[in-house]
Amino acid sequence: MGGPGDPPEGTPEGGPVGGEDEYRSVVFDESFVRAARLQESSARERMTDHAPAVRRRPPLRRGLTRQALVLVVLILVAFGTAIYMGVRHPYGTDEAQQPVEPLRMTVIPLSPQGAVPGAADAETLFAHSPAAQYEVGAEGIPLPAARSTAHFSDSQVVTALTTVKDYLVRSSLYPEVLDSSEVRPTRALLDPGQLDQFDQSVDHPTADGRHALTGWLVRFDPTRAELADPKIRVQGNLTAAETDPATLEVTADHTFVYALRPTGAPAGAEVSLFTVRRELTFRFDRDDLRLHQTQLVVSYVQAGPLSCAEDAADHLHPLLAGQTAKAGGPAGTDPFATDSATALCGTLAAAAEPKV
């Protein structure tokens, strides 16, 4: 006789003893039943006309599991931290930004010893001058091989050198800067911390060692001289070095030679040469490198032929072919006045002028 759990006819031949089949281990708990997509109608529901034996249950609305929610929160926190650190320390350093140093400048007029040499064309003058082998324009400002420093990469050094070259081109070669009609090309490359000083030099130029506009850029008195040849001769070099972990410094030493003639003169008028030697020191912090801007901190300029009797703070007033320097020199300087630079004037060596 079979047991209480066995079929009336007994256990089928070959079946497991006691009715323990392979499905005995499956447990149909409440969660399994709730998850079923089909649900059998109750006896009362099946008595209703046209009621189906089974019906499809609406899908369960599942929310995020606790583990998934924790993972999402962790991702959001990590992402927010990365954004904050990128804004607070964009280059992964905690160095404090150094204050921008004002530009210190010296502009020295070079007075000719006699009449300024002239010729009918610029090529003749250049061929007989020390600038005969100089390159033309930006070609005379080559970039040196860039090497990384202890705290600045190769690309950062290249950026600094390129920015300085751009500054030299905009401040020494742009026609609209040379003829005094524009200053914006030069201004656009300066660190914002120097813009007030630059603007004061534009609005109220003075030879005080801080606000001579000719310390920032090269520009000629438009009522006196204009370019006779757009091919400006240039020669010089650039060097870059790290001064501290937060500062990269570039020094530029270039000589620019311009062919000039009197403003409004006919094409056949005599041409003369004008030379400007610019020794400049630029500094860069990491913001400057990122924004392609610079701090010009030292400007030492020698320019001639000029008359020492004329103020060169706003414009350079070139002496042209056949002219001689006016008698006199710069006004006296009070050595006890701390806000006044010592006035200087030099003599233009005969060897610096073309032999025509």
Strand ranges for 263-339 from DSSP E: 272-284, 295-304
Instruction: Encode pLDDT of 200-243 as tens digits.
Output: 999 999 999 999 999 999 999 999 999 999 999 999 999 999 99
The amino acid present at 265, given as its one-letter code, is A
Distance CA 347, CA 36 (A): 103
Residue pLDDT, tens place only, 246-303: 999 999 999 999 999 999 998 789 999 999 999 999 999 999 999 999 999 999 999 9
Model pLDDT for residues 127-185, shown as the tens digit of each residue: 999 999 999 999 999 999 988 999 999 999 999 999 999 999 999 999 999 999 999 99
Assign 4 a pLDDT band (cuts: 50, 70, 90).
Answer: low
DSSP-H helix ranges across 122-265: 122-127, 154-172, 175-178, 184-187, 195-203
Under DSSP, is residue 302 helix (H, G, I), strand (E, B) or coil? strand
Q: Give dist(CA 108, CA 337) in Å, integer.
A: 20
The pTM (predicted TM-score) of the whole model is: 0.72
